[in-house]
Amino acid sequence: MGEQPNREELLRMGIRAAKAGNKEGARQIFERVLSDDNRNERAMMWMAKMADTRTERKQWLNRVLSVNPDNAQAQQALTRIDYRRSAKENRTLVLFGVLTGVLIVLAITIIVIVAVVK
């Protein structure tokens, strides 16, 4: 009967699977690593990289930081996520402001035209 792979071998297998595009297989391997060692930063970082949503990615990154608040890679990834969200919100606000400005100019133009016609 074959010997079970150790945690480091499992991590390498998971990383190879992730890099090969086998997200589901990689997730299963990383979950196995985390079931043995729920504080394994490398497995959590890979889970964050493979997350399907921003929310899921942030949860994994925050979990990494709860284990190691000094993890620079997790801190930088969270900063990038927050920056992108802020940039998107700012673009939305600018667009709303421009549209509001155009509507105000149109309203004033209509009021002026109506006043001149009378």
Inside any domain, residue 1: no
Inside any domain, residue 38: yes
Q: Given CA atoms 26, 29, 35, 37 in this order, what sign does their dihedral have?
A: negative
Arithmetic mean of pLDDT, 10-15: 95
Inside any domain, residue 60: yes
Inside any domain, residue 2: no
User: Residue 70's domain is classified under what CATH number?
Assistant: 1.25.40.10
Q: Cβ contacts of residue 26 below 8 Å, gap of 6+?
A: 14, 15, 17, 18, 46, 50
51-97 tens-digit pLDDT? 999 999 999 999 999 999 999 999 999 998 876 666 666 677 777 87
Which residue range forms the structural domain that includes residue 60?
Answer: 7-117
Judged by phi (left if over 0) then psi (alpha if -120 to 50, else beta), residue 4 lies in beta
Q: What is the pLDDT, as a whole number, of residue 86?
A: 61
* Confidence band for 2, pLDDT divided at 50, 70 and 90: low
13-57 tens-digit pLDDT? 999 999 999 999 999 999 999 999 999 999 999 999 999 999 999
Task: Please name the residue that has the structure tokens 């071998």.
Answer: 9
Q: What is the pLDDT, as a whole number, of residue 84?
A: 63
Inside any domain, residue 73: yes
Task: Please name the residue that has the structure tokens 């309203």.
Answer: 107
**Tokens of residue 99, six digits:** 């549209």
Under DSSP, the state recorded for 38 is: T
Number of domains in the chain: 1
What's the pTM value of the predicted model, to 2 decimals?
0.66
Inside any domain, residue 11: yes
Tell me the one-letter amino acid at 108: I
Inside any domain, residue 51: yes
Q: What is the pLDDT, as a whole number, of residue 96?
A: 80
Inside any domain, residue 61: yes
pLDDT at 115 over 90: no
